[in-house]
Amino acid sequence: MRENHSKIFSIIMYLMIFILVFPLFILIIWSFAKSWPWPDLFPKEFGLRGIKYFLDPTSKSLSALLCSVFLSMTVTVITLIITIPAAKALALYEFKGKKIVEFLILAPLIVSPVAVAMGIHLSFIRLGLANTFIGVVLVHLLPCIPYSVRILKNVFEVTGEAMEMQARVLGASPFQTFINVTLPIITPGLVSAGSLVFIVSFSQYFLTFLIGGGRIVTFPMHMFPFVQSGDRMMASVYSVVFIITTLICLQIIEKLVKRYYKSGNYFFIN
Amino acid sequence: MTQIVLKNISKSFGNKKVLDDINVVIGEGEIVSLLGPSGCGKTTTLKLIAGLLKPDSGDILFGNSSILNIPVEKRGAVIVFQDYLLFPHLNVAQNVEFGLKMAKVDKAKRQEQVKRMLHLVQLDGYEKKYPDELSGGQKQRVAIARALAIEPKVLLLDEPFSNLDMRLRESMRDFIIQIQRKLKITTILVTHDKEEALMTSDKIAVMLDGKIRQFGTPAELYQRPVSPEVANFFGEKNYIRGHIKDGMFVSDLGIVITKYNEQSSVMAMIRPEDIELIEPSNDDGIIGIVKTVKYAGDRIYYTVMANNVELKCLSGTRKMFNIGDRVQVNIDFDNAVFFKDVW
């Protein structure tokens, strides 16, 4: 019986994995397909036009990719720095208007940032932040903060304050406590929040476009015209690069954090 | 070695008064228990002493000086919490040296101290283990070593044994007391277990609803409780209503001579172990009927109905009675405690 169950279970599991992974193969095939008319099961001709264009320095795709990675990493770091205290306060402290503050912080999840971006654009023009890197970083924080706050708030709710109190009575100052106890304990949460924030920031198109005003050219801005114009080969190449870059960056984030707490024993299980 | 003085300490959370005018003096090197049910303010008291909370009013002195303005990390009052709270990302040695590292003690000294502490708690050779590889008792000992490593002025134990199983609890209790006696460190133990309090402490403070009801040595509290509430902490008791007249206590159970002379209504508290049950032999004694029998191995709990009063009795296993037996009840009124006007 049990054997049977596990067989059914693994069939379902592999089916789900297949459903998730299969489109990626299509993307990879598409990026080498010179022509693939309906109803052929496989492309008629293969070609390297997409890869060549992407790697060609005159297309500036690589520099856009680097710019995007740098931008999203910056946004990730800033978001985490801002949201750690915010999430802790929301999870552990009682204060007046807590519900309203929480709602406002999470509001960008409900109200699309695009809706407020127009107003922000005007303000940024006045402040001289439009068409600048800093401006784009700031506007990316808008959709990123709610995700990070949500994840870290749950983490703080689980870990609580007890460990920090213990550190304090053992003679650690508030800052020492934060560095030596709080950060290591919430590390798994930081990795997941950081990964999600990176992806959210990395896939922003409209906000970057509006606030960057074409001066800050990120990877999605190269990619979108191809998707829109229906150049499937190019769109597929860019999508594959997009996915690979994200995976590599997430790996780097996790490896860096893990190496920092090299014991590998940082998972907090209560 | 520090004397701790709590002076008129009050503390409220919102509208709820958690501590109400607490006054206690804990002598140098003493071990004092705060005994009370959960929610009576015991742990709050510890947190106030450690500095994790601030009192609304009153003062806390270590020796002769107030410590209210000293931040937590400089007070030298370490709490060992109920669930040990070992840092999961650090190994045993790193946990123990945590306090010293924070105080920027140099490395050679730290290592020496870690070694000494682990030897003290009999965990030599466990330096490289992580908390999740340790048993409950071992975690507890690491937590104690970590607390003692910084040579605190005051050790505060917050229900340190309640997560351990019975046998381990007893040995850890003896172990900690041994260490406490050796280091002569002023210690406050929070507990809801009367036996733990009686067996470990130099003095006990019984707390109820944010007030200290009685403060004294274990024998004082057990033998001369100031109120039925305090008495109830140390096990079930019999209460017999009556009144004192001309040095005699008059109740349903007859008339006995007492040391008291005042004329008043009183309640006599009689401990179960002060009531002896024997075979009915003469007609003078109080005769009762056994209502329930609870056998506990080394002793037996009875309830006996005598003269319309239900009495709880505790006796050895030498003579056993069954439900419905007629027994003679000999009450030792010399050990009775009389409470005036409690109803």
CATH number of residue B191's parent domain: 3.40.50.300
Report d(CA B140, CA B124) in Å as an integer.
Answer: 15
- Domain membership of residue B313 as a residue range: 238-340
- In this complex, do B99 and A266 lie within 8 Å of one another by their Cβ atoms? no
CB distance B146 to A181 below 8 Å: no
- In this complex, do A184 and B52 lie within 8 Å of one another by their Cβ atoms? no
Is residue B160 located within the same domain as residue B29? yes
**Which homologous superfamily does the CATH classification assign to the domain defined by A57-260?**
MetI-like (1.10.3720.10)
Report d(CA B167, CA B191) in Å as an integer.
Answer: 17
**pLDDT for the residue numbered A112:** 81
User: SS3 sequence, chain A?
Assistant: CHHHHHHHHHHHHHHHHHHHHHHHHHHHHHHHEEECCCCCCCCCEECCHHHHHHHCHHHCHHHHHHHHHHHHHHHHHHHHHHHHHHHHHHHHCCCCCHHHHHHHHHHHHHCCHHHHHHHHHHHHHHHCCCCCHHHHHHHHHHHHHHHHHHHHHHHHHHHCCHHHHHHHHCCCCHHHHHHHHHHHHHHHHHHHHHHHHHHHHHCCCHHHHHHHCCCCCCHHHHHHHHHHHCCHHHHHHHHHHHHHHHHHHHHHHHHHHHHHCCCCCCCCCC
User: What are B276's strand-pairing partners?
Assistant: B330
- In this complex, do B98 and A170 lie within 8 Å of one another by their Cβ atoms? yes
Is residue B268 located within the same domain as residue B169? no
Of A162, A180, A268, the CB nearest to B81: A162
Is residue B137 located within the same domain as residue B245? no
- Name the residue in chain B with its Cα closest to that of A174: B73
Q: Is residue B58 classed as helix, strand or coil in its secondary structure? A: strand
- Name the residue in chain B with its Cα closest to that of A260: B89
Q: What confidence tier does A261 reach under pLDDT thresholds 50, 70, 90?
A: low
Q: What confidence tier does A11 reach under pLDDT thresholds 50, 70, 90?
A: very high
Residue after which a domain boundary falls, among B233, B248, B282: B233
Is residue B173 located within the same domain as residue B293? no
How far does A199 lie from chain B, in Å, by closest CA? 28
CB distance B214 to B225 below 8 Å: yes
Report, as ranges of residue numbers, the positions in chain B whose pLDDT lies below 50. Answer: none
Q: Is residue B247 classed as helix, strand or coil in its secondary structure? A: coil
Mean pLDDT along residues A18-32:
89
Of B88, B89, B150, the CB nearest to A170: B150
Residue B245 backbone dihedrals phi, psi, to 5 degrees: -140, 125
Task: Note the pTM of the prediction, 2 decimals.
Answer: 0.79
Percentage of chain A surpassing pLDDT 70? 94
Residue A25 has pLDDT above 80, yes or no: yes
Residue A185 has pLDDT above 60, yes or no: yes
**pLDDT tens readout for residues A54-86:** 888 888 888 999 999 999 999 999 999 999 999
Residue A267 has pLDDT above 60, yes or no: no
**pLDDT for the residue numbered B338:** 85
Is residue B12 located within the same domain as residue B156? yes
Is residue B162 located within the same domain as residue B299? no
Chain B residues with CB within 8 Å of chain A CB: 47, 50-52, 71-79, 81, 83, 85, 87-91, 98-99, 102-103, 130, 132, 146-147, 150
Candidates A173, A183, A204, A174; CA nearest to A67 is A204
The one-letter amino acid at B275:
I
- In this complex, do A169 and B77 lie within 8 Å of one another by their Cβ atoms? yes
Give CA separation, B4 vs B40, B158, B204, in Å: 20, 17, 14
Burial class (CB within 10 angstroms; exposed 0-12, middle 13-18, buried 19+) of B73: buried
Is residue B184 located within the same domain as residue B325? no
Q: How are beta strands B16-26 and B4-13 bridged, if at all?
A: antiparallel
Q: Please report, to the nearest 10 degrees, the dihedral formed by the alpha carbons of residues A188, A191, A196, A200 taken in order.
A: 160
Report d(CA B313, CA A224) in Å as an integer.
Answer: 88
Residue after which a domain boundary falls, among B216, B233, B250: B233
Residue A122 backbone dihedrals phi, psi, to 5 degrees: -60, -50
Is residue B227 located within the same domain as residue B298? no
Of A162, A173, A184, the CB nearest to B89: A184
Report d(CA A32, CA A23) in Å as an integer.
Answer: 15
- In this complex, do B102 and A268 lie within 8 Å of one another by their Cβ atoms? no
Mean pLDDT along residues A191-202:
93
What is chain A's alpha carbon radius of gyration, rounded to the nearest angstrom? 23
Number of domains within chain B: 2
**pLDDT for the residue numbered B192:** 87
The question of ipTM being above 0.85 is answered as no
Does A191 contact B at CB distance below 8 Å? no
Report d(CA B287, CA B305) in Å as an integer.
Answer: 9
Residue A269 has pLDDT above 50, yes or no: no
- Average pLDDT over chain A reads 87
Dihedral sign of CA atoms B147, B152, B158, B159 in order:
positive
CATH number of residue B325's parent domain: 2.40.50.140
Is residue B26 located within the same domain as residue B167? yes
**pLDDT tens readout for residues B60-106:** 999 888 999 999 988 889 999 988 899 988 889 999 999 999 988 88
**pLDDT for the residue numbered A270:** 28
Residue after which a domain boundary falls, among B213, B233, B253: B233
Is residue B219 located within the same domain as residue B109? yes
Report d(CA A36, CA A39) in Å as an integer.
Answer: 8
> CB under 8 Å to A52, separation ≥6 — which residues?
none
Residue range(s) in chain A whose domain bears CATH number 1.10.3720.10: 57-260
Is residue B306 located within the same domain as residue B221? no
b/e sequence A156-176, b meaning 16+ C-beta within 10 Å? beebeeebbbbbbbbbbeeeb
**pLDDT for the residue numbered B233:** 83
**pLDDT for the residue numbered B142:** 93
Is residue B226 located within the same domain as residue B253? no
Give CA separation, B274 vs A56, B95, B334, B337, in Å: 99, 50, 9, 12
